Amino acid sequence: MQLNHQKGLSLLWTAVVVGLVALAGMVGLMSARYERNYFAEAWKKLTKTDVAQAVQQTQQNVAKTEAPPIRKCIIDGKTVYSNVECDKANPTSQKVSIHDSKGFEAPKVPVVSTPEAEGAPSMRDKLIDKAVNR
């Protein structure tokens, strides 16, 4: 006699996952009803712990440090733009000033005045007048 066992999630763990999803949905509905964001309040409580504050401090320190400037140099006969490979010791190295452009913008279409705006009757108005005058 050979027993075949189910593979994958058991019925118990499936019920636990469905229960957690239902709980999150209920909290979301309660947040909407009482106009409070329970998720944001819980997140604030979690981030006030010592570990979370250490992580936030580290992120702020990384954001404050500036990356070395982009430099242009020639390496093996090829022009390279890099902030790592082109150091100040390389005689062909030059600092490159970078400006952020917003990319290509579509040209502005001039505003064309329509005959309707000038008071001339539209085709629809002409057809209505023609039907009324019959």
Reported as a pLDDT band with limits 50, 70 and 90, residue 83 is confident
pTM strictly above 0.75 = no
* Predicted pLDDT at 86: 82
The pLDDT, as a whole number, for residue 22 is 98
32's tokens: 């909407």
Q: Express each pLDDT in 15-59 by its tens digit.
A: 999 999 999 999 999 999 999 999 989 888 888 888 888 888 888
User: Which residues does 84 contact at the CB level (< 8 Å), separation at least 6?
Assistant: 68
Are 98 and 72 in contact by the 8 Å Cβ rule? The answer is no
pLDDT given for residue 23 in this prediction: 96
Amino acid present at 131: A
CA–CA gap between residue 63 and residue 55 (Å, rounded): 12
